[in-house]
Chains A and B, each alone.
Chain A
Amino acid sequence: MEGSIAVTVEGAIREQVEDVVVRFAGDSGDGVQITGGQFTLTTALAGNDLSTFPDFPAEIRAPQGTTFGVSAFQIHFGSREIRTAGDAPDVLVALNPAALKVNLADLSKGGLIIVDSGSFTERNLKKAGYDDNPIEGDSVDGFRLITADITKNTLEAVQEFGLSQKEAVRCKNMYALGLVYWLYSRERAPTTSWLKEKFGKRPEIANANIAAVNAGHAFGETIEASGETSSYEVLPAAIEPGLYRTITGIEAISYGLVAGAQKAELRMTFAGYPITPASAILHTLSKLKQFDIITFQAEDEIAAVGAALGASYAGTLGVTASSGPGIALKTETIGLAISVELPLIVINVQRAGPSTGLPTKTEQSDLYQAVLGRNADSSLVVISASTPADNFEVAIEAVRLATKYMTPVMILTDGYLANASEPWIIPDADKIPKFPVNFLSDETEFSPVKRDPVTLARNWPIPGTPNLEHRIGGIEKSYDTGNISYDAANHQKMTDVRKNKIDNIANDIPEQKVARGDDTGEIAVVGWGSTFGPITRAVQKIRADGYKVSHIHLRHIWPLPINLGSLLNNFKKIIVAEMNTGQLITILRSEYLVDAQGLNKISGQPFKVSEVEEAIRKSMGN
């Protein structure tokens, strides 16, 4: 909480706070993500700006009560602009001892802990590795504590609905939600109606969960009345007027593909293979068949990209998605797509690596793989999303470039962006410009490799078109006819034209703008992808102290915006902040010969605002 004042609301003293970070944590089977999702929705409806960070284990159901089975959901909300999920929680809801153990160290000084004392049994304490009960000892000194026997209270509250013991215990996340609703003076109605809809076929479960929310809320009111603790008020933020929804990165990228295919007037074929965290795109699109989308779960990553390319060859928009290790398997086929010059969208939902690494944690370490990671001279377009909702626009831009330039486009997003959500002002899809694809229909002097003189893209004749029968393939082909050619001068020419075609796209993408601050100054902090939030907030705070710091955030990683070199030269120092050991910085140094410094974090967790802020201040020499 960065600032707070006390106000009187209806007789009760409620402290008003500008922004708050709440983390819900519990066993992976405790419904923590659902609880977080509901709190997010209610908070958005209350008019706060917000950002969320779901953090769950790779194990689906790790042994109950263990530290490695702890799932968490963090939300940062406030009456000001919110750009990150928050550095440190102000409130930690721990549904079991393991959740407390894993998350306590992150809690801000003087923070509030809400624990389910009923779950602090000897058995659970032992599983979490506690010798003594921490809520009775000194490990929670310096924090405020609300202890409630959430398990027992929940069972009592839902008793009348005749659920099984297991079903009844499952309602405890809703009890905890009710308690936090009380704490921040939130409406319960949105959750009530959501529960009624979700459990429409099992009204007794809906009613039990509603009773649990109400019981948790009532518990809060009781302790408030007794003077033990008070609730808070977070006023609505000054938000741009419009129609809003919350959107996750997965939803945004999926809907962006749907919109992009429509703008290109193409049918989409999406082929994927299960991999965390990219599979959710396959799940989302599989439910949208009414948009004439073919979805295909292939036998492996190679088959997925192969089927996508085969579908592009047939005249649909071929799309595939994976994460780093899966992208590695797709590499050879991406090379084929470059060679035969067919559109292809490849989405990389980056996760922490190398190899299997940390599948549910986030990282930005596949930039080299995207830009450089293929055999031979084989460039393609690489673009990246910076916030969950930004994935929507990025997906549309990917479709535009892939179809206009007959090239694979790689979208870099990451595990954090995929799962996190934010409020989103819903765009009018009808106002997004169209970019219809024209297949070649007939031509007297037909050649499959005839190029547009401006874009250098080859034309797109598709099988099924009379009189345009031709052969394509991965062997080098004649610039003039498309037939196999081993001619030395021709290979030079073809290599040049493939490179020039991609380089030339720099003229067809927006010039780089400064995300925050001026076009010139002392320090430019350059970022890409999901570091947008922490960088921009850190720059905002430092600028508030009067320093000439700017934030430059790249969407287009390759080719780079045409003015980027001159823009960087307007700053005395350049800091490149990224969640890898320094990949964008290598590209920038080699392209512009700039003396940039790196700020790097590779822990599987996003940057904290304070980390970026500290690095900038250090670079400023204060």
Chain B
Amino acid sequence: MNKVTPLEKLTVKDYASDQEVRWCPGCGDYSIVRAMQKTLADLQSSPEKTVFISGIGCAARFPYYMATYGFHTIHGRAAAIATGTKLANPDLDIWVISGDGDSLSIGGNHLMHVLRRNVDLQYILFNNEIYGLTKGQYSPTSKIGTRSPSTPMGSLDSPLSATLFALGCGARFVARGIDTQPKYLPEVFKRAQAHKGASFVEVFQNCIVYNDGVFDNFTAKDVAADRQIQVEHGRPLIFGKEQNKGLRLKAGKIELEVITIDENGTTEEDVLLHDETNKILATLLAQMEGPNFPVAIGVLYCDPSDTYEDAVHAQLTAAKKENPSPNVNDLLRSGTTWTVV
């Protein structure tokens, strides 16, 4: 198995396991695993305290490629299993790796509860809008009309927005990244890791075999600058090749609009500043989609609150303080007892 010498500075390579990666050539997952290895190297994360827990799907193979602790579990249940692991040992730094089917179909219930409980872990959802490992069926995030083996005439049901779902569940940290941004993605992961509580990150990930190019409308090089906005707390919400487009609230409405700076009398002053502690703004940003709006990338929302495992352990501490040396024999003899001679 992999040996790590903790005294030396760990490099990206030190976080890669010796296992041969088995994703399809050209899969977006390759760049995400590299971004993760870079993240851990940048953070100098302790390999023994870092745990990757995954469900089932292409993304779920991820833990095998990390030279940390890893648990590849069952479909949809990674969040529940990770909750138990974190409760049992709060010192562990847990990353849950999941996909859109794993998280939002079979595992929707567990994702909802891990977010509302605010268990301190990072939940990374690889969204490729398709079931890859089962050969290409449409997923809960697929657009209406997606043709797939199970929907040859086009899918009929409305897709789910992962980030709006997370915000609705009460997540205190919601962010987005893109597989093809090897420099920016680690920055998003680092923010997620730094946030104490459940950190939800949706990564748009291209499935080269079953859904190739599904995000091209905002990730392709020629359109990216105009169709994406990288949001940053306290900074104006500006985007575009010329950096001359901005977001502002429509007068008299709780609604965003895109303006072109220096046109029709608008200035940079008119552009809204990003406030990542504002849930309403985060919701408006998460809702944006093309072609009229850019897709928001980065930390949409971050507003820390108490974590579940801290509260659980506080109760344990209080109970132990009240009864510092409990004894099984005393427990068995509690209540009414009598002696037969």
Size range of the chain B interface in the assembly: 35 or more
Binds A, one of B136-144, B155-163, B216-224, B324-332: B324-332
Are the CB atoms of A464 and B48 closer together than 8 Å? yes
Residue on B nearest A293 in the bound complex, by CB: B316
Residue on A nearest B66 in the bound complex, by CB: A471
9 CB < 8 A contacts A-B: A47-B340, A243-B339, A244-B338, A255-B332, A290-B319, A298-B113, A299-B110, A315-B88, A316-B89
Chain B residues within 8 Å of A315, by CB: 88-89
CA distance A258 to B322 in the complex (A): 18
Contact of B84 among A255, A310, A426, A468 (CB under 8 A): A310
Contact of A296 among B87, B91, B327 (CB under 8 A): B87
Distance of B307 from chain A, by nearest CB (Å) = 14
- Let me know if B197 is at the binding interface, CB within 8 A: no
Are the CB atoms of B72 and A473 closer together than 8 Å? yes
- Let me know if A378 is at the binding interface, CB within 8 A: no
- Let me know if B73 is at the binding interface, CB within 8 A: yes
- Let me know if A144 is at the binding interface, CB within 8 A: no
CA distance A474 to B74 in the complex (A): 7
With A299-B113, A428-B329, A466-B6 given, is the CB distance from A306 to B77 under 8 Å? yes
Chain B residues within 8 Å of A474, by CB: 72-74
Are the CB atoms of B71 and A473 closer together than 8 Å? yes
Are the CB atoms of B88 and A290 closer together than 8 Å? no
Q: Which of A230-246 contact B (CB under 8 A)?
A: 239-246
Provide the main secondary structure of the chain B interface.
mixed
Are the CB atoms of B87 and A307 closer together than 8 Å? yes
Are the CB atoms of B48 and A465 closer together than 8 Å? yes
CA distance A335 to B336 in the complex (A): 42
Provide the main secondary structure of the chain A interface.
mixed
Distance of B113 from chain A, by nearest CB (Å) = 4
Given contacts A302-B77, A446-B1, A469-B2, 13 further A-B contacts (CB under 8 A): A245-B332, A245-B333, A245-B338, A290-B322, A291-B326, A292-B316, A299-B80, A302-B80, A304-B80, A310-B86, A316-B89, A469-B1, A473-B71
Are the CB atoms of B1 and A470 closer together than 8 Å? yes
Chain B residues within 8 Å of A495, by CB: none
Residue on B nearest A238 in the bound complex, by CB: B340
CA distance A446 to B331 in the complex (A): 41
Residue on A nearest B333 in the bound complex, by CB: A426
The chain B residues found within 8 Å of chain A, CB to CB, are 1-4, 6, 17, 19, 47-49, 51, 53, 63-64, 66-74, 77, 80-89, 91-92, 109-110, 112-113, 312, 315-316, 319-320, 322-324, 326-329, 331-333, 335-341
Are the CB atoms of A473 and B73 closer together than 8 Å? yes
Are the CB atoms of B64 and A484 closer together than 8 Å? yes
Chain A residues within 8 Å of B110, by CB: 299, 302-303, 306
- Let me know if A309 is at the binding interface, CB within 8 A: yes
Contact of B336 among A41, A316, A470, A481 (CB under 8 A): A41
Are the CB atoms of B341 and A241 closer together than 8 Å? yes
**Binary B-proximity of A279-295 (CB < 8 A = 1, otherwise 0):** 00000000011111010
Chain B residues within 8 Å of A336, by CB: 73-74
Residue on A nearest B92 in the bound complex, by CB: A463
Please provide the 5 A-B residue pairs with the shortest distance between their CB atoms, ordered closest to farther. A473-B72, A310-B84, A307-B84, A306-B80, A289-B319
Chain B residues within 8 Å of A468, by CB: 1, 48
Are the CB atoms of A467 and B85 closer together than 8 Å? no
Contact of B340 among A41, A242, A471 (CB under 8 A): A242
- Let me know if A429 is at the binding interface, CB within 8 A: yes
Chain B residues within 8 Å of A428, by CB: 329
